Amino acid sequence: MFFVCSVTMMYTHVMNNSVAIMSGARKGRGATTNNSGRFENRSRHGTHDGWEVENWDPVSEDAPTLRTIVTEEFCKTIISRNSSPDIPFDQSINPYRGCEHGCVYCYARPSHAYAGLSPGLDFESRLFAKPNAAEALERELAKPSYKCLPIMLGANTDPYQPIERDWKITRDLLTVMSECNQPVAITTKSANVLRDLDILAEMAGRGLAAVGISVTTLDRDLARKMEPRASTPQKRLEAITTLSEAGVPVSLMAAPMIPQLNDHELENIMKAAVDHGVRDAAYILLRLPLEIKELFADWLAEHVPDRADRVLNHIRDARHGALYESDFETRMTGTGEYAQLLGRRFSLACKRMGLNKREAGQMPLDTSQFKGPVRPGSQLRLF
């Protein structure tokens, strides 16, 4: 199934898979550029050719729409595994590649380069959906060699991004997990998670489900610029309340914290989340791997030019003079005085608000109830 994007003046030429798009802020989109990925042997940049609109404003109501294209991607396997010591899960599933939320800071953006697409606007407008994900999951859970561990749903891209309303892949996955008593944790910044409250509440009652809601800022205007198609901060807080009242354990992800931009909100974000039912919380200092460095710098120059240098300099102070370090021990929290102060603020706020009283702040999920699916033609289990 495809949502075909019509050709407009913002598309100057097409080479390989990606397209050159004029730079600048664009209504409903986070990235301001669509520069080529790191694996491409040619660099593409959009320029105005002087036709049609002399002073085109991509944010105006009359600007051409950059439509979303969704391509089906059938998968043989669906569970990804990692051994990173700073990530609290071993298994994850991503129903989609790319994310329409358009969060400019998203650490998953560089993954789009593997498809010959830009980590910029392509990442949020040229998406891949896995319609057979539930079937692939059922096959993997049925294997005698499968070891039941909690699965993180949406570790890379959001499982409840807008296209999930039509594709319903996340709901299909949850249905399989519920039938097999497969524990699942979900990370999202979308209030659309409430659509599946029936499944999540029932699973949570058996100790099989937990949800993490990401709240980056309480400033709706800032959120609209940084994460344009995600739910508003208030909608996310309301989702926390609804989930909590239904018995679903909910944790807060105050992430990413960005120096001189939203870091001053940390305690207010935590307090708001606690007031709405959160009992566990975590934070992450902004990460800028690979192409995100340039993407984020361009976004700062476009939206907050008066603070751009200060933001980047604070990030360098927390990364030994660089914009990013991949060291497992420090990549989530940074180093130096600023990073230490942010960490102390978080710890004191947790103590004051009664957060993270469980061991390591993790919500336990029960793996003992797992029962693998019985597929047609397979041998029935003896016990």
pLDDT in tens, 245-263: 999 999 999 999 999 999 9
pLDDT in tens, 102-111: 999 999 999 9
In Å, how far are 185, 191, 217, 261, 272 from 349, measured between CA atoms?
Answer: 24, 25, 16, 19, 12
pLDDT range class, residue 164, cuts 50, 70, 90? very high
Return the amino acid letter for 132: N
Q: How many domains does the chain have?
A: 1
Please indicate, yes or no, if residue 318 is contained in any of the structural domains.
yes
The whole-number average pLDDT for the span 172-194 is 98
Looking at residue 175, which CATH number applies to its domain?
A: 3.20.20.70
Write down the pTM of the prediction.
0.88
The whole-number average pLDDT for the span 224-237 is 98
- The better pLDDT of the pair 317, 3 is held by 317
Please indicate, yes or no, if residue 303 is contained in any of the structural domains.
yes
Residue 22: per-residue pLDDT: 60
Please indicate, yes or no, if residue 374 is contained in any of the structural domains.
no
pLDDT at 58 over 80: no
pLDDT in tens, 37-57: 888 776 666 655 555 555 555
pLDDT at 10 over 70: no
362 DSSP assignment: P
End-to-end CA distance of the chain: 42
Question: What's the CA gap between 96 and 238, in Å, rounded?
Answer: 25
Residue 175: per-residue pLDDT: 98
Share of the chain above pLDDT 70, in %: 84
pLDDT in tens, 338-368: 999 999 999 999 999 999 987 544 557 999 9
- Structural domain including 291 reads 11-357
Please indicate, yes or no, if residue 6 is contained in any of the structural domains.
no
Please indicate, yes or no, if residue 370 is contained in any of the structural domains.
no
Please indicate, yes or no, if residue 302 is contained in any of the structural domains.
yes
Please indicate, yes or no, if residue 112 is contained in any of the structural domains.
yes
Closest CA to 37 of 7, 6, 16: 16
From the number of C-beta atoms within 10 Å of its C-beta (0-12, 13-18, 19+), residue 313 rates as exposed
Please indicate, yes or no, if residue 383 is contained in any of the structural domains.
no
